[in-house]
Amino acid sequence: MTERLHNFIDGDWRASTADHALNVINPASAEVLAEVPLSPAADVHQAVEIAECAFIGWRRTPVVDRVQPLFKLKALLEQHRDDLSLSITNECGKTLAESKGEMQRAIENVETACGMPTMMQGTNCEDIASGIDEHMIRQPLGVVAAITPFNFPGMIPFWFMPYAVAAGNCFLLKPSERVPITSQKVFHLIQQAGFPPGVIQLVNGGRDAVNAILDHPGIRAISFVGSTATARYVYSRAAASGKRAQCQGGAKNPVVVMPDADMEMTTRILADSAFGCAGQRCLAASVAISVGGARPSFTEQIVATATKRKVGYGAAPGIEMGPVISAESKARIEGLIAKGEHEGARVLVDGRSRKISGYEDGYFVLPTVLDDVPPDAETARTEIFGPVLSLMHAQTIEEAIALVNGRSYGNMACIFTTDGANARRFRYEVNAGNVGINVGVAAPMSTFPFSGWGESFFGDLHAQAHHAVEFYTQTKVVVERWPKEWSRKF
Ligand code: NAD
């Protein structure tokens, strides 16, 4: 019988009160791995009530003690990294090497949050007026929640959770209902790490659980990652109920290839960016813009690299790219390729309607390269979220930067060049929050904020590092005077 996943509430595993559940499917084989309950609002309410009680003691726990379970969790994550990585591959489709890289990023966020005793320090100024001192201290918010997407089930919850709890908040996770198994495994480790009951909780579910989180008056802040449409919705509903919100959305990432670029390195890195994780990364290269004389050699080499990529079940040896997440995703991506063709693009490498031997039921789309994609075509504007690279061509860097800045998204933009002046100009002028220079996936390390712009981000403070500390704390300013005559009494 298929296992039904549980919620983790008050330090223990509890069956959801849900009437409905969804199958969790391995996208490489279409095998059913588990059933995920679609928890109703009542399950969320129960978790929040428990978190509100847990917060009373947790915020009074010294910060140096609050980070101790995080040190333990880091060790547990390292110890179980292989098992967690295999779980990511099985429910999400990416290769085992990609899953291990993902877990590494998760662990690094735990490490960074362990620095909370210095990260959440305030500021002060003695004698702001004669005999008067002023201090700014940071205090936790209370109960906070994160709602996460399918494409990084091991990493994205860690953009938020370690910072939130180290800063003294109680944290509730609602993972993607498409990939909930890795979170179950992570929460078994959280259970061993020694956090008091109610400090970190897990509620599985879909829209109903999200809406209950957004509306609950006991939840002070929402961290969201997912598509732009949902990010916009979550941001406005969270704001309407008076919450802080940071909502990371979708992307359409352009990469500029200058004629002076090292073409071998560029195509190798760019292919990893466009086709790695089957293009299901918010930092995937989606549009490549060649400048001037770069066109012929770049086109020839990217086509050769795309054609050679080994596609299959992500845990099989030598596999470089796995399936996309679902049958619906495959159909949507293949539909967008057809639309691109209809809009005037030429299909140089066609990854549609291909079967992988031994995995005939899997949701595979092979690397696809479209050439001469018109800038106003849907393929050029819409997030495809699949292994599809659209080529465009410009004559000058000005023209290329104008194409980059003509998009509504602003998650990432990259340039490949050996010319420092062009690189600097690109970095200075592009409208994107994460910029790569001879780098194909400009993913900020855990010690830097993940800085989406435009339609890729709604809010102010981003995930990770000091932005996370600011997001999960509120400042309190204290102005104090101790007249001399009072101190004489003691
Ligand atoms: P999604 O928007 O479908 O789902 C994200 C979360 O929102 C899930 O937990 C889901 O249960 C919930 N949700 C979905 N629809 C909802 C609705 N109508 N009402 C309430 N809740 C809803 O996103 P996805 O398909 O899981 O993830 C892929 C998307 O995430 C892509 O667009 C990708 O670019 C984006 N993403 C962005 C970043 C970033 O840092 N900007 C990182 C990773 C993924």
Same domain? For 51 and 109 the reply is yes
Does any domain span residue 429? yes
- Using CB distances shorter than 6 Å, the residues near ligand 1 are 147-152, 174, 176-177, 206-207, 210, 225-227, 230, 233, 248-251, 282, 383, 385, 411, 450, 452, 456
Q: What mean pLDDT do residues 449-471 have?
A: 97
Cα 229 to ligand 1 centroid, rounded to whole Å: 8
Q: What is the pLDDT of residues 356-391, one digit of tens each?
A: 999 999 999 999 999 999 999 999 999 999 999 999
Give residue 484's pLDDT.
77
For residue 483, what pLDDT band results from cuts at 50, 70 and 90? Answer: confident
Q: What is the pLDDT of residues 160-199, one digit of tens each?
A: 999 999 999 999 999 999 999 999 999 999 999 999 999 9
Quote the domain boundaries for residue 406: 253-437
Give residue 486's pLDDT.
72
What is the residue whose two structure tokens read 């990493």?
A: 155
Whether 116 contacts 469, CB under 8 Å: yes
Q: What is the pLDDT of residues 111-154, one digit of tens each?
A: 999 999 999 999 999 999 999 999 999 999 999 999 999 999 99
* Residue length of the chain: 490
For residue 487, what pLDDT band results from cuts at 50, 70 and 90? Answer: low
Does any domain span residue 234? yes
Residue 4 CB neighbour total at 10 angstroms: 14
Does any domain span residue 484? no
Ligand 1 atom nearest the C-alpha of 152 is 43
Classify residue 410 by its DSSP letter: E
Same domain? For 64 and 148 the reply is yes
Give residue 161's pLDDT.
98
Same domain? For 228 and 174 the reply is yes
Give residue 196's pLDDT.
98
Same domain? For 230 and 276 the reply is no
Mutational test site, ligand 1, from 282, 324, 456, max ligand atoms within 8 Å of CB: 282
Does any domain span residue 191? yes
Same domain? For 144 and 40 the reply is yes
Pair of tokens at residue 329: 């995703």
The backbone region for 142, taken as left when phi is positive above 0, alpha when psi lies in -120 to 50, beta otherwise, is left
Same domain? For 367 and 229 the reply is no
* CATH code, 53: 3.40.605.10
> Of 384, 485, 389, nearest to 440 (Cα)?
389
Does any domain span residue 451? no
Same domain? For 225 and 299 the reply is no
Q: What is the pLDDT of residues 267-295, one digit of tens each?
A: 999 999 999 999 999 999 999 999 999 99
For residue 488, what pLDDT band results from cuts at 50, 70 and 90? Answer: low
What's the CA gap between 416 and 262, in Å, rounded?
8
Does any domain span residue 21? yes
Does any domain span residue 374? yes
Same domain? For 210 and 267 the reply is no
DSSP string for 420-479 = HHHHHHHHHH---SEEEES-SS-PPPTTS-B--EETTEESSS-BSHHHHHHHTEEEEEEE
> Of 70, 8, 64, nearest to 446 (Cα)?
70
Cα 248 to ligand 1 centroid, rounded to whole Å: 9
Same domain? For 230 and 372 the reply is no
Same domain? For 86 and 228 the reply is yes
Ligand 1 atom nearest the C-alpha of 205 is 11
| Percent of the chain predicted with pLDDT > 90 | 98
Please count the structural domains in the chain. Answer: 2
Give residue 165's pLDDT.
98
> Of 2, 85, 86, nearest to 37 (Cα)?
2
Give residue 167's pLDDT.
98
* CATH code, 341: 3.40.309.10
Does any domain span residue 445? no
Same domain? For 322 and 460 the reply is no
The backbone region for 168, taken as left when phi is positive above 0, alpha when psi lies in -120 to 50, beta otherwise, is left
Collect all residues with Cβ–Cβ distance below 8 Å to 418 and sequence separation of at least 6: 258, 260, 261, 262
Mutational test site, ligand 1, from 105, 151, 182, 448, max ligand atoms within 8 Å of CB: 151
Atom 6 of ligand 1, residue of closest alpha carbon: 149
Collect all residues with Cβ–Cβ distance below 8 Å to 12 and sequence separation of at least 6: 191, 197
Catalytic residues: 282
Same domain? For 370 and 462 the reply is no
Q: What mean pLDDT do residues 226-230 have?
A: 98
